[in-house]
Amino acid sequence: MTASDDQDGDDSDLRDRALLAAHVDGDAEAFATLVRLHRHRLWAVALRTLSDREEAADALQDALLKAYRSAATFRGEARVTSWLHRIVVNACLDRVRRRAARPTVPMPEDTEPVDTHDALGARELALDIESALATLPEDQRVALVLVDVQGLPVDEVARLLGVPSGTVKSRCSRGRARLALQLGHLRNRPQPSSVPPTEARTTPETSEGGRA
């Protein structure tokens, strides 16, 4: 990034801050102007995170409504664009969590009905994972969902969150370690019949009667 790019970014942020302040002060057009300036990038964030145009549109609408109502809480510690991006990401994460808590089981017409036990087992597993995710610190939860659930590249997540790539990797690592501790009991849970149980895997120890 050149000095010119830095200056352009600073000038843009000053403009954005002025628009946000004007909105807080009652300017009826300021927030709409701010949205027009950044809507394309915010839409790209929502669509890339959710991979579903309808879900992304709803998440973006929720995020912009929240930003409109909470503009007075902006403390100026980050760029306005970073603040807006974080609100959009959180709105997307809310939808990801709701989807995880309500998994759908497709029933193709040319197959037998899905085993109710399997469907319930999948739902219980999703709820366990959702509950565990909810206990993570927000920074770890956001990084894990974006990297591990949504499959975004680490560098892209770093740009989205405004932190170094190493920070994203560290947050994911710490989050995975916490989840491993909280979800350890799932290793002994019977799996749905469509998923081979981990105990069925043959290892040198099991194949030789437990010898080292």
For the segment 129-151, the average pLDDT, to the nearest whole number, is 79
CATH number for the domain including 86?
1.10.1740.10
**Do 97 and 147 belong together in one domain?**
no
d(CA 31, CA 64): 10
pLDDT value for 116: 43
| Any domain includes 107 | no
75-96 per-position pLDDT tens digit: 888 889 989 988 998 898 888 7
| Any domain includes 201 | no
Cβ atoms within 10 Å of 4's Cβ, excluding its own = 8
Q: Which parts of 102-207 fold into alpha helices (H)?
A: 116-135, 138-144, 154-161, 165-182, 204-207
Q: Tokens standing for 35?
A: 């949205």
Residue among 62, 60, 87, 61 at smallest CA distance from 73: 87
pLDDT value for 204: 42
Cβ atoms within 10 Å of 188's Cβ, excluding its own = 9
For the chain, the C-alpha Rg in angstroms (whole number) is 22
Task: Using a pLDDT cut of 70, give the percent of the chain over it.
Answer: 67
Model confidence at 167: pLDDT above 70: yes
Q: Tokens standing for 20?
A: 């946000």
Among 41, 69, 102, the domain-final residue is 102
Query: Is pLDDT larger for residue 134 or for residue 179?
Result: 179
**Do 40 and 93 belong together in one domain?**
yes
d(CA 112, CA 156): 42
Residue among 93, 86, 78, 82 at smallest CA distance from 136: 93
**Do 96 and 127 belong together in one domain?**
no
pLDDT value for 124: 65
Residue among 99, 103, 96 at smallest CA distance from 50: 96
Decide if 151 contacts 144 (C-beta within 8 A): no
Q: Tokens standing for 113?
A: 């009905």
pLDDT value for 98: 79
105-125 per-position pLDDT tens digit: 443 444 444 444 455 555 566
pLDDT value for 134: 76
The boundaries of the domain holding residue 48 are 14-102
**Do 92 and 53 belong together in one domain?**
yes
Mean pLDDT score across all residues of the chain:
76
Report how many domains make up the chain.
Answer: 2
Query: Is pLDDT larger for residue 206 or for residue 140?
Result: 140
| Any domain includes 65 | yes
pLDDT value for 89: 87
Cβ atoms within 10 Å of 42's Cβ, excluding its own = 23
pLDDT value for 212: 42
**Do 171 and 124 belong together in one domain?**
yes
